[in-house]
Amino acid sequence: MEWEGALLHGFVLVTQADAQDSEHQVETDPESSLETDPMADAIEQDGTGATTPPSAAPTTPPASTGAPAQGVRVHAAEFPELGDEEVSGSGQGNLGLLAGVELEVTVELGRRRMPLADILRLTSGSVLELEKLVGEPLQIFANNRFIAEGEAVVIDEQFGVRITALASRGVAKAVR
């Protein structure tokens, strides 16, 4: 059987031809197509206040896979039209909620494009000449977005970067 163009009715996949057949029409009342749960029925109390054990509960035989199940009513979601409401506030919101979010900060010393053949010839001790000149500012990225420029510094025995210029909002762009 071909399933292209099939529709989902309830929990049974039927072809469009079967769905259009009058005996397989979708119920207009979703409550009428609900099957009862034997376990839930077993736990319900009877008129005397006692509960029926699950083993004594009547069970419904499983539905045949050839017959389509009763469907549910499906319709498109409806949303109100958005007008030109005026939004108040500075647009900053509560940035304090985001203060604890960690970002990956990367400082780029330089780049170089190389053919794969040259990369395969690299060995321990090979030197790569970068496109960046000595004294040019280093680029600083947060989650691959350019945020600032700076210069390399040494702090105790670790490298660091002194920020020399922050990127303006229009300049901050994704790189890589």
pLDDT digits (tens, 9 = 90+) for 120-176: 999 999 999 999 999 899 999 999 999 999 999 999 999 999 999 999 876 555 555
| Identity of the highest mean pLDDT range in 78-82, 85-89, 151-155 | 151-155
What pLDDT does residue 71 have? 77
Are 65 and 109 members of one domain? no
The pLDDT score that the predictor gives to residue 17 is 64
Amino acid 89: pLDDT: 61
82 within domain boundaries = no
Mean pLDDT of 67-83: 76
Average pLDDT of the chain, as a whole number = 73
Residue 173 lies in a domain: no
| Shared-domain flag, residues 53 and 15 | yes
Q: Among 73, 89, 116, where does a domain finish? A: 73
- What pLDDT shows up at residue 95? 79
Instruction: Check whether residue 8 and residue 54 sit in a common domain.
Output: yes
pLDDT value of residue 24 = 44
| Rounded Cα gap, residues 44 and 55, in angstroms | 13
Task: Give the burial class of 71: count Cβ atoms within 10 A of its Cβ; 0-12 exposed, 13-18 middle, 19 or more buried.
Answer: buried
Residue-range definition of the domain harbouring residue 151: 103-166
pLDDT confidence of residue 78 = 86
Do 68 and 14 belong together in one domain? yes
Q: Is the pLDDT of residue 16 over 70?
A: no
- Read off the tokens for 153: 């510094």
pLDDT at 8 over 80: no
Asked, for residue 107, whether it belongs to a domain, the answer is: yes
Residue 114 forms part of a structural domain = yes
DSSP 122-148: --TT-----SSPTTPPEEEEETTEEEE
Total domains in the chain come to 2
Residue 39 lies in a domain: yes
CA angle 13, 17, 22 (to 5 degrees): 95
In a domain, 83, yes or no: no
What's the whole-number mean pLDDT along residues 39-44? Answer: 50
pLDDT of 65 over the 90 cut: no
* pLDDT given at position 138: 95
Mean pLDDT of 73-92: 75
Element (H, E) at 163: strand 158-166
> For the chain, what percent of residues have pLDDT higher than 90?
36
Q: Is residue 142 part of a domain?
A: yes
Question: Are 6 and 67 contained in the same domain?
Answer: yes
Look up the CATH number of the domain holding residue 162.
2.30.330.10
